Amino acid sequence: MEYNKKLILEDGQEYYGYGFGANENKVCELVFNTSMAGYQEILSDPSYTYQAIVMSYPLIGNYGMAEDDYESENLTAGALIVHEYNDHPSNFRSAATLSDIMEKYKIPGIYGLDTRKLVRSIRDYGSRKVLITDASTTKEEGIEILKKTDIPKDAVSKVSCQHIWKSRVILSNNFVQGNAKESVSGGFTQEYKWHKKHIVAIDCGMKKNIVLSLNRLGLDVTIVPWNTSAKEIMDLRPDGVFISNGPGDPEDAEATIATVKELIGKFPIFGICLGHQIISLAYGAKTYKLKFGHRGGNHPVKNLETGKIEITSQNHSYAVDPESVKDTKLKITHMNILDNTVEGVSCEADKVFSVQYHPESAPGPQDSRYLFDKFLNMLS
């Protein structure tokens, strides 16, 4: 079968393959993810807005797409690049093929290329722009398109909710003596107390499982858009504030940074991923772009307070400058073992803490679920 799709990188590299998903040409930021499973959650994570994701695991699509496993209602990833695509999933939970869903959300895909070589190129030369296009497009044409096309900087505003909404703890007949039971995906039952506490979550591109993790903790959650003012949040009378993950450069989220500056010291605050970077910027620290980012479910992080190692799920392009933290009220609490990047900060006096990784672990290991309990303890 003749190749019908290709990738053209801004440095002139070309990769030929076969198309699946939407038949569209796109310019994206090229990144890779090393997870062995969880492509549905990865593709539906708003943090991948405007990015073309290279999956290092070779076989993708084999278990289809399940109704309960989406991390957002509107998929905004730029493109998906895989070695081998399976269009005949074997999974009783599958409701659609990966290609069908990508076509629905106008996400192009390409398979049949050497993803090992492509991942190594990203590792060696860094993330850069890529054009996914028809195989007939010449290298010169592609490079010209890449030169003229900028990656948009409106990613957070694109994926944040537009209106305030609520996600409450649902009490049923299983609610007995302060304990509720909930059947969650996977078939097990989880018990928790309803704490009558109310959290405001600032949505910068929040994953669904973060909201569910807060609900399962027994917390009612009001979700507000990324540019909600501090006064509007205070008027909601929360017991604590959460700042979510999200796409793009944290410095582009100026409205959220300004809001967090005003909220510091007034409520306990917890941030994840982009929320971690926003909290750091609000305290006066600086951020910088990593060469190729951290994306996968196997990143080792050391908790400097306990000495324990956590295996974590990560997805980000930016990191907090450790030297800049020294001039703030924050202290560094977690470090990445692979490259010594900052993975967590806190200010005990203000009841503020954040981590760069994803403790809701969807997909990924569950080593860091304790962080949600830490946030709950701050609310009492």
Q: Which two tokens stand for residue 46?
A: 């708003």
pLDDT of 189 over the 50 cut: no
Question: How far is Cα 18 from Cα 109, in angstroms, rounded to an integer?
Answer: 8
Query: Are 131 and 195 contained in the same domain?
Result: no
Average pLDDT, integer, range 169-180: 47
The span from the first CA to the last CA of the chain, in angstroms, equals 63
With beta carbons less than 8 A apart as the criterion, state whether 329 and 350 touch.
yes
Q: What is the pLDDT of residues 243-253, one digit of tens each?
A: 999 999 999 99
Query: Which pLDDT belongs to residue 350?
Result: 98
Per-residue H/E/C for the chain = CCCCEEEEECCCCEEEEEEEECCCCEEEEEEEECCCCCHHHHHCCHHHECEEEEECCCEECCCCEEHHHCCCCCCCECEEECCEECCCCCCCCEEECHHHHHHHCCCEEEECCCHHHHHHHHHHHCCCEEEEEECCCCHHHHHHHHHHCCCCCCHHHHHCCCCCEEECCCCCCCCECCEEEEECCCCCEEEEECCCEEEEEEECCCCHHHHHHHHHCCEEEEEEECCCCHHHHHHCCCCEEEECCCCCCHHHCHHHHHHHHHHECCECEEEECHHHHHHHHHCCCCEEEEEEEEEEEEEEEEECCCCCEEEEEEEEEEEECHHHHCCCCCEEEEEECCCCCEEEEEECCCCEEEECCCCCCCCCCCCCCHHHHHHHHHHC
Residue keyed to tokens 């951290």: 294
**Which of the listed residues 114, 130, 151 is the one where a domain comes to its end?**
151
* CATH code assigned at 50: 3.50.30.20
Of residues 103, 273, 276, 334, which has the active-site annotation?
273
Q: What is the pLDDT of residues 31-53, one digit of tens each?
A: 999 999 999 999 999 999 999 99
Query: Are 66 and 143 contained in the same domain?
Result: yes
Query: Are 366 and 257 contained in the same domain?
Result: yes
Query: Are 65 and 177 contained in the same domain?
Result: no
Q: Which domain holds residue 310?
A: 157-379
Average pLDDT, integer, range 92-107: 98
Comparing 163-172, 185-194, 325-334, the range with the smallest average pLDDT is 185-194
Query: Are 142 and 163 contained in the same domain?
Result: no
Query: Which pLDDT belongs to residue 171?
Result: 56
For residue 136, how many other CB atoms are within 10 A of its CB?
9
Instruction: Name the pLDDT band for 188 (thresholds 50, 70, 90).
Output: very low
Average pLDDT, integer, range 118-129: 97
Instruction: Name the pLDDT band for 290 (thresholds 50, 70, 90).
Output: very high
Closest CA to 51 of 149, 182, 151: 151
Question: How far is Cα 42 from Cα 78, in angstroms, rounded to an integer?
Answer: 12
Average pLDDT, integer, range 258-274: 98
Average pLDDT, integer, range 202-211: 97
CA 108, 113, 114, 118 dihedral sign is: negative
Q: What is the pLDDT of residues 140-150, one digit of tens each?
A: 999 999 999 99
Query: Which pLDDT belongs to residue 193?
Result: 65
Q: Indicate the average pLDDT of the chain.
A: 93
195 in active site: no
Query: Are 60 and 106 contained in the same domain?
Result: yes
Instruction: Name the pLDDT band for 179 (thresholds 50, 70, 90).
Output: very low
**Which of the listed residues 151, 177, 199 is the one where a domain comes to its end?**
151
Q: What is the pLDDT of residues 321-354, one digit of tens each?
A: 999 999 999 999 999 999 999 999 999 999 999 9
Query: Are 182 and 103 contained in the same domain?
Result: no
**Which of the listed residues 134, 151, 168 is the one where a domain comes to its end?**
151
- Report the number of distinct structural domains present in the chain: 2
Query: Are 201 and 106 contained in the same domain?
Result: no
For residue 128, how many other CB atoms are within 10 A of its CB?
16
198 in active site: no
Phi/psi class of residue 214: alpha, beta or left (left: φ > 0; alpha: ψ in -120 to 50)?
A: alpha
Of residues 294, 299, 334, 358, which has the active-site annotation?
358
With beta carbons less than 8 A apart as the criterion, state whether 81 and 54 touch.
yes
Query: Are 123 and 182 contained in the same domain?
Result: no
Query: Are 112 and 174 contained in the same domain?
Result: no
Of residues 29, 41, 343, 360, which has the active-site annotation?
360
Instruction: Name the pLDDT band for 170 (thresholds 50, 70, 90).
Output: low
Q: What is this structure's pTM?
A: 0.93
* CATH code assigned at 349: 3.40.50.880
Query: Are 137 and 58 contained in the same domain?
Result: yes
88 in active site: no
Query: Are 117 and 195 contained in the same domain?
Result: no
With beta carbons less than 8 A apart as the criterion, state whether 354 and 270 touch.
yes
Q: Which residues of 103-114 are buried (b: 16+ CB within 10 A; e: fewer)?
A: beeebbbbbbbe
Question: How far is Cα 104 from Cα 106, in angstroms, rounded to an integer?
Answer: 6
Average pLDDT, integer, range 281-297: 97
Query: Which pLDDT belongs to residue 361?
Result: 86
